[in-house]
Amino acid sequence: MGSQVAVIQFPGSNCEHDAYHLISKVLHHPVEFIWHQSRDLKGCEAIIVPGGFSYGDYLRTGAIARFSPVMESVKNFVSQGGLVLGICNGFQILLETGLLKGAMLRNRRLKYVCRHVTIRIENVKTSFTHLAEFGDVLSVPIGHMEGNYIIPSDELEQLEQKKQIVFRYCSTNGKITESSNPNGSLSNIAGICNFQGNVLGMMPHPERASESLLGSRDGLVIFQSIIESRPLKP
């Protein structure tokens, strides 16, 4: 990928600088912020919709941000094959815009969860995971109140069949267990992609696990995959 990565800023975002730092200082790749009121994506080839609390999470997480002018441009960008990564609140926004299927409920114990978890890579045939190995276990942090992913059973079956489940919460040895599920998410789902494979939403924060200083570099492979992306079949 030769062009820059764009990081969208909403009122209430608080993880955009983490993503910007990672792209610019760790991976040494061009990156630029885009304010939510702009419709100009500045010729980028990949977009990060960051975590935080867009619009204070009023009404419902991501429910107001979906109406920001930039999201119409993001939808057009996706329709043309552009790559979009939504992290935590960014995932919630992508669900609200309809770019990904499903919805979020409050965590099953109705408490904010902030800790490191382990997730297993279920699909490496995406532009976000093609540098990883199937079954790799990543140690990454989470920080959310509404991460309990739900979807109707018939649509869950479609996600399974079309290999759109990209990450699942797991034990440190890669087993999918109820005890390794931090929020009650259906089928231990931590991240999904669209059928075309160019939109990924995930609740864990890989940008917070991309330097040794942070205690884990496991999340780096996701951003390396984006920057070194190539056309892949979903």
Superfamily of domain 5-227: Class I glutamine amidotransferase (GATase) domain (3.40.50.880)
- Whether 178 is catalytic is no
Q: Of 187, 145, 139, give the one whose Cα is nearest residue 165.
A: 187
Q: What average pLDDT does the chain have?
A: 93
Q: Which of 36, 130, 144, 205 is catalytic?
A: 205
- Whether 144 is catalytic is no
Residue type (1 letter), 36 = H
Residues 73-110: pLDDT tens digits?
Answer: 999 999 999 999 999 999 999 999 999 999 999 999 99
Please state whether 215 falls in left (phi above 0), alpha (psi between -120 and 50) or beta: left
pTM for the full predicted model: 0.93
Residue type (1 letter), 111 = K
Residues of the chain with pLDDT under 50: 1-2, 231-234
- Whether 88 is catalytic is yes
| φ and ψ of 8, to 5 deg | -80, 140
Q: Is 24 exposed, middle or buried (0-12, 13-18, 19+ CB in 10 A)?
A: middle
Look at residue 62 in the predicted model and tell me its pLDDT. Answer: 72
Look at residue 97 in the predicted model and tell me its pLDDT. Answer: 95
Look at residue 231 in the predicted model and tell me its pLDDT. Answer: 43
Q: Which of 44, 88, 170, 193 is catalytic?
A: 88
